[in-house]
Amino acid sequence: MKIKQLASFTGVSAKTIRYYEDIGLLPKAKRGGNGYRYYHEQDVTSLKFIRRCKELRIPLADIKRLVVVQGSGNAPCRQVDTIIFQQLEKIRVAQYELEQLERNLKTLANCCDHEQIKDCEILKHLRAN
């Protein structure tokens, strides 16, 4: 199949597929005599795997490591574990930050009485030491 079909099977744009090939996340596709890239079922699987990782917000660099490690059948899967746990930790840190943020923004949002700029409580808060 050609690139656009792979794209529609996987929900990953053709542009992005080429990009993944560029950075070595996907192997170099076989080319026809016309220079077109041609793909197989296997590529659908690979791309879906990548897409699923992306949904977990795993950075491409880590996804690459996951892809590579899949080839090494008998190795222990500590690397996989680590990536997932680190990701989970990142998410938790982000959650904590967003909580603080939400509280601060809520306070700020509530303080405005829709006055004129020069009396705006929001701006006053933002300027405050």
Residue 60 CA to residue 37 CA, distance in Å, equals 22
Q: How far apart are CA 25 and CA 17, in angstroms?
A: 9
For position 36 contacting DNA by CB under 7 A, the verdict is: yes
- Within its chain, how far is the Cα of 81 from the centroid? 18
Selected range binding DNA among 8-16, 66-74, 94-102, 103-111, rule: CB under 7 A = 8-16
Closest CA to 47 of 22, 79, 21: 21
Instruction: By CB under 8 A, tell whether 1 contacts a copy of itself.
Output: no
- Of residues 90 and 125, the one with the C-beta less far from DNA: 90
How far apart, in whole angstroms, are the C-alpha atoms of residue 57 and residue 28? 24
**Conformational region of residue 11, where left means phi above 0, alpha means psi within -120 to 50, and beta covers everything else:** left
Binding partner at 114 among DNA, a copy of itself, none, C-beta below 5 to 8 Å by kind: a copy of itself
Binding site for a copy of itself (CB under 8 A): 45, 48-49, 52-53, 55-57, 66, 69-70, 72-78, 80-81, 84-85, 87-88, 91-92, 94-95, 98-99, 101-102, 104-106, 108-109, 112, 114-118, 120, 122-123, 126-129
Binding site for DNA (CB under 7 A): 2-5, 13-16, 18-20, 29, 32-37, 54, 59-61
